[in-house]
């Protein structure tokens, strides 16, 4: 049987993985990086990526891949930078970097599945990148739209599945008390199914 999984590095095609480190960001108890990304991508692509406490995470010349958790085991790729300078700062932004332009089309659009089972936020790419499976390549930069409103629900199966995975509670609240008629159309053969729901 053919393995249909597309790994993150199938897209990126980075050969020297020993020189690459991946930053995995998630809710820190105050801010959720996925919300910050939508308001100001530079916050997560600089401050969250290059923040240092005591331990140094990067060296000059290394490549830094920034991923932020959307929900559960799903992460969004937001930037890839080459570290150009260390600032020798603790509890602050400790590095400067330049974005690698060849990866620009993927920023904010690639969702990957990865089960993180270690405490550190930065890890060598060679250790984990082959466990990162591309779950979706978005047509545009990620936006957290939640339930779009009753008159805007016109989704493909994969879009509906993704919406329910990411915003299940919002969709349940919006639809649980509605009486409605719905239509499902098979795009391949043109057949339609009309159904109704009381809740």
Q: What is the pLDDT of residues 107-130, one digit of tens each?
A: 999 999 999 999 999 999 999 999
Which of 18, 75, 34, 28 minimizes the C-alpha distance to 53? 28
Buried b or exposed e, range 172-197, using 16+ CB within 10 angstroms = eebeeeeeeeeeeeeeeeeeeeeeee
Q: What angle do CA 129, 23, 138 make, to 5 degrees?
A: 70
Q: Name which of 3-7, 45-49, 72-76, 145-149 the model is least confident about.
A: 145-149
The confidence score (pLDDT) of residue 26 equals 92
Has residue 144 got a pLDDT over 70?
no
Give the C-alpha separation, 154 to 160, whole Å. Answer: 9
β partners of residue 182: 195
- First-to-last CA distance in the chain? 41
Contact of 94 with 86, CB cutoff 8 Å: yes
Has residue 1 got a pLDDT over 60?
no
The confidence score (pLDDT) of residue 32 equals 86
pTM value is 0.73
Give the C-alpha separation, 155 to 161, whole Å. Answer: 9
Beta strands of the chain (E only): which ranges? 20-25, 51-52, 63-71, 74-86, 92-93, 95-99, 110-113, 122-124, 133-137, 180-185, 192-197
Has residue 47 got a pLDDT over 90?
yes
Average pLDDT over residues 52-79: 94
């Amino acid at each position: 049987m053919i393995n249909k999984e597309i790994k993150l590095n199938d897209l990126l095609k980075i050969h020297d993985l020993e020189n690459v480190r991946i930053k995995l960001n998630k809710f820190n108890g105050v801010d959720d990086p996925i919300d910050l990304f939508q308001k100001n991508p530079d916050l997560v692509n600089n401050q969250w990526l290059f923040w240092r406490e005591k331990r140094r995470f990067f060296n000059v010349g290394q490549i830094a891949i920034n991923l932020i958790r959307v929900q559960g085991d799903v992460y969004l790729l937001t930037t890839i930078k080459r570290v150009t300078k260390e600032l020798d700062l603790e509890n602050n932004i400790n590095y400067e970097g330049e974005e690698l332009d060849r990866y620009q089309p993927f920023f904010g659009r690639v969702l990957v599945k990865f089960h993180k089972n270690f405490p550190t936020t930065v890890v060598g790419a060679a250790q984990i990148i082959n466990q990162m499976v591309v779950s979706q390549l978005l047509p545009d930069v990620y936006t957290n739209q939640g339930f779009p409103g009753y008159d805007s629900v016109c989704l493909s199966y994969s879009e509906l599945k993704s919406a329910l995975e990411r915003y299940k509670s919002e969709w349940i609240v919006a639809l649980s008390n509605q009486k409605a008629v719905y239509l499902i159309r098979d795009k391949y053969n043109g057949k339609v199914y009309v159904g109704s729901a009381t809740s």
